[in-house]
Structure formats: structure tokens, C-alpha cells
């Protein structure tokens, strides 16, 4: 790009203006067209996320984008949570207080 990393970061933060010429350089550098035979695969073995809400239905539907009716309520507790629901390998732990 012909600029320093600190200048680039200032543009990202909005501290420096991005000219149309610089915007085009960034597009050419970072957004290259890929061949259709190129395949990207990403895997994630374990993720733990906590939300400050007691509405488990909202977390499942709005954040995970899944249907809460597909989840199964388990009859035992885990990790000091009195309830958890599961769908495949997805576990959602919650409490009611």
C-alpha cells in the first residue's frame, strides 16, 4: 500500500481520511477474486460464550440463529448450571434466577 502500519490503523479508526485512490489500493490488495476451485474450511473445536440475560429462547433464536424447539432439555445439570439444553454438539447452559 505504500503507507505505514500506524497510518493504516489511523484510517481504520477514522482518525485519517481515506482517499478514493487509497480505497482502491486497499480493495486491490485485500479483496482478490478467487478461483471457483478454491475452498476455505474453518473449524472450531470449542467456544464458550456468556450472555447477561436469562432469556434462553432469545439467545438460541437471535444469536445462534437456531430453532429452540429443536433443542432437548436434559434432566441433569452440569458445570453448576441447573439446566441445559442441547442440539447435537451445541449445549446451552442456563439458570432461572
Residues 6+ apart with CB under 8 A from 53: 59
CA distance 82 to 74: 10
pLDDT recorded at residue 2: 84
pLDDT recorded at residue 69: 92
pLDDT recorded at residue 34: 67
CA distance 59 to 65: 8
pLDDT recorded at residue 28: 83
pLDDT tens, per residue, the chain with 97 residues: 788 999 888 988 889 898 899 888 888 887 767 666 767 788 888 888 888 877 888 888 988 888 999 999 988 888 888 888 998 888 888 887 7
DSSP assigned state of 88: T
Amino acid at each position: 500500500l505504500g503507507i505505514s502500519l500506524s497510518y493504516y490503523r489511523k484510517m481504520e479508526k477514522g482518525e485519517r481520511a481515506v482517499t478514493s485512490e487509497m480505497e482502491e489500493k486497499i480493495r486491490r490488495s485485500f479483496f482478490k477474486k478467487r478461483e471457483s476451485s478454491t475452498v476455505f474450511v474453518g473449524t472450531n473445536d470449542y467456544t464458550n460464550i456468556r450472555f447477561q440475560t436469562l432469556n434462553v429462547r432469545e439467545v438460541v433464536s437471535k444469536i445462534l440463529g437456531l430453532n429452540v424447539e429443536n433443542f432437548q432439555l436434559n434432566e441433569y445439570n452440569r458445570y453448576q448450571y441447573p439446566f441445559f439444553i442441547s442440539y447435537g454438539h451445541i449445549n446451552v447452559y442456563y439458570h432461572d434466577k
